[in-house]
Amino acid sequence: MSEGPRLGPANAVVSWVGLARHRVLLALAGVGLVGDALLRVGTPGWEVVAGVVLLAGALPAHDARSVAEWATTTTAYLARSRWVTVTVEHPSSPSSGEPEGVSVTSARATAVVRGFELEHRGRLDLSGEGPALARALADLVDSLALAPPDQHVSWHVRRDGNELVTLLAVRGAGAPPPAFRPRDALVAWFVGAAVAERTWLLERWRYLRAPYEVVRVLRIRDFTAARDAAVLDRLVWTSSRVGIAVHVAVVESARARRLSERAVHRSRSDAAISRGAGFRESARSAAEEGRLARREGQVAAGRALVRLGVYVTVHAAGLDELRAAVAEVLEVARAAGLRCERGAGHQGPWHRYQLPGGLGW
C-alpha cells in the first residue's frame, strides 16, 4: 500500500486557497453586506446583522470545524430521533433460495454484504505476508472500478481477548484474497446485533448507549503526519474493546477521471493565485500538488479512485471507563501524527457509516 501516493488531507471538503469553500463564501458574503452597510446611506439594520452573522459563521471553532458547521451539527442533532436501530438478517436469493450474504439495516438504509474472515497465522508483518495481502486487497479494489456502481469494501478489526479478529465485508462483486474464508456470521458479531433481532441504541451528544455497554465512534481524517504504517495497529491494542473500521467506496471510472483532473486543476490554480499575490510556494503545497498529479496518472492508467473512511469504535461498560479509553486512543493517535475527530453530535450517523456495508455512504 505504501508504493502508491501517500494518504494526505481529506479531499471531501472542497477548499479554495487552502480554506474550506463554505468558509470562503460566508466570509465574502459577510464582508459584502457589512461593506455595503458602511458605504451606502440608508442601509437597513438587518443587513449589518446578517453580515456579522455570516462573518461569525466563517470563524474557526473547536475540533477544526467552523462556527457554521457547529450550528448545522447541533440543528441536525436536535431534529433527528435519538434512537438508532440495527437489524441483521440472512436474505435468500430469489432464484435459488440460498443465502446470498448478510443484510444490515439501520436508519432506513440497507446493505447486503458478504463476510470473509482473515485466517491469522501470527503477525503478518513478521511473517512477510503483509505486503502480499495488501497487494491482493488493492487488486480487489481495482477490479471493482469497472464493476457496476455501488461497490463497497470494508475491513473491520477488533480484539477478542488476546486475539485479533478481522472481517472483510464486500458489497457488490469481487472475489476476496485467498487468505480470507467465507464467514457471514461474523458480520453480526461486529455489528453487535443478534440475527433477525432489532438492536436499539440511544444517541447522546458524545456517545451511544447500547443494551449492555456504551460506545463512542471517532473518525480519523488526516494521515498527512502519520509517522509509520502501523498506527492503526497500535490503536487496536490500546484497549481490549477498541475496533477499527476502514471503508473503501469505489468511484465509478468516468467520474474518477473527472474528479482527479479537477483536483489537480484546483491545486494548480490555488498555487497560481498565491504566487500572483506575492506568496512563496511552500514545500507542503508543492508536495500536495505532486501527490494529486501522481493520483491522476494512476487513475488514467486504470487504478481505482476510492472514498476512504477510517472509524475507531471504543466500547466500555460505563461512562468513566469510556472516557479513559477514549483519552488513551486520542493520545496514541496524536503521538502517531493522526488527526482524530471526536464526533460530538455525529455519533448516530457515524455509527451507521462504520457498520459493514457503509450504510449511508
pLDDT in tens, 168-189: 998 877 778 888 888 888 888 8
Q: Are 54 and 33 in contact (CB under 8 A)?
A: yes
The whole-model pTM stands at: 0.81
* Mean local confidence (pLDDT), 349-358: 91
Closest CA to 16 of 54, 68, 58: 58
CA distance 273 to 277: 6
Q: Write down the CATH number for the domain with range 81-251+304-353.
A: 3.40.462
Percent of all residues in the chain with a pLDDT value above 90, rounded to a whole number: 19
Quote the pLDDT of residue 232. Answer: 77
- 291-324 tens-digit pLDDT: 777 777 777 777 777 788 899 999 999 999 999 9
What average pLDDT does the structure give for the chain?
80
pLDDT on residue 203: 95
The predicted pLDDT at position 18 comes to 58
Q: Which residues contact 302 (CB under 8 A, 6 or more apart)?
A: 142, 145
The closest of 15, 27, 16 to 54, measured between CA atoms, is 27
Q: Which three cell numbers stand for residue 107?
A: 436508519
The confidence score (pLDDT) of residue 127 equals 47
If one compares 13 and 72, the residue with the highest pLDDT of the two is: 72
- Please state which of the ranges 40-49, 297-306, 320-329 shows the lowest mean pLDDT: 297-306
Q: Which amino acid is at 201?
A: L
- pLDDT given at position 13: 55
Maximal CA-CA distance, the chain = 77
Q: Contact at 8 Å (CB) between 308 and 279?
A: no
Classify 293 in phi/psi space as left (phi over 0), alpha (psi -120 to 50) or beta.
alpha
Give me the sign of the Cα torsion angle 289, 295, 296, 298: positive
Instruction: Label residue 28 by pLDDT band (50, 70, 90).
Output: confident
Whether the CA torsion 179, 175, 298, 265 is positive or negative: it is negative
Q: Cα 66 from chain centroid?
A: 19
Interval 231-244 mean pLDDT: 81
pLDDT of 300: 77
Q: Which three cell numbers stand for residue 24?
A: 470562503
pLDDT for 15 equals: 59
Q: Where are the domains of the chain?
A: 1-79, 81-251+304-353
Residue 103: which pLDDT band, with cuts at 50, 70 and 90?
confident
Best-predicted range by mean pLDDT (59-68, 81-90, 298-307): 81-90
Lowest mean pLDDT among 6-10, 69-73, 273-277: 6-10
